[in-house]
Amino acid sequence: MIGILTGGGDVPGLNPAIRAVTIRALREGCQVIGIRRGWAGLVDMVREKDYDNSENFQLLSEDLVNRTGRTGGTFLHTSRTNPSKVKKSGLPAHLQAAYDAETNDLTTEVLKNLDWLGIDYLIPIGGDDTLSYGVRLYQEGVKVVAIPKTMDNDVPGTDYCIGFSTCG
């Protein structure tokens, strides 16, 4: 199972990137889950079989990504959530009793949620903040393939980022 998410600011090219990854993965025999609202979808998820997590993730199909692939932005939506720096006031209701610091590291919850979803590979699409957290997950043992996206074109290790051509 492959998980894909978009984080940070919205730029053109996100939906085509989601489409390309999804179609290739499906043709290789993999299922793809779209994580909604970037890292927030993995923070807010409730690990209960009958809970409605439709605001947090959705199974992606070729039909769905073909419909959205020619539109700007990201149909998965995005956020600037960093799971390693969640303010007490930003904790989801189901986690408020477990975390009481002013700033909380919810990486343990994210790892449990990735496992609960059965995600073998995670593809974050984003800029420095989004991809820095992807590095953190990689250091925790998650298989991560990052796609750089920023109008600033300043992601180390890459020559060109999705969204740079629209900056101006």
The CATH number covering residue 122 comes to 3.40.50.450
Catalytic residue among 100, 152, 154, 159: 152
Q: What is the pLDDT of residues 97-138, one digit of tens each?
A: 999 999 999 999 999 999 999 999 999 998 888 889 999 999
Contact present, 3 and 151 (Cβ < 8 Å): no
- Total domains in the fold of the chain: 1
Q: Please give the C-alpha separations between residue 102 and each of 28, 36, 154, in angstroms, as whole numbers.
A: 44, 25, 31
Name the average pLDDT for the chain.
88
Question: Residue type at 122?
Answer: L
pLDDT of residue 137: 97
Specify burial of residue 128 (Cβ count, 10 A radius: 0-12, 13-18, 19+): middle
Query: What range defines the domain where residue 75 resides?
Result: 2-166
**pLDDT value at residue 70:** 73
- pLDDT at residue 141 in the model: 97
Q: Which one has a higher pLDDT value, 36 or 156?
A: 36
Confidence check: pLDDT of 79 > 60: yes
Q: Which amino acid is at 63?
A: D
Q: What's the confidence (pLDDT) of residue 82? A: 95
128 given a catalytic annotation: no
pLDDT of residue 40: 96
Q: What is the distance between the alpha carbons of residues 88 and 123, in angstroms, rounded to a whole number?
A: 27
Q: What is the pTM of this model?
A: 0.86
pLDDT at 157: 62
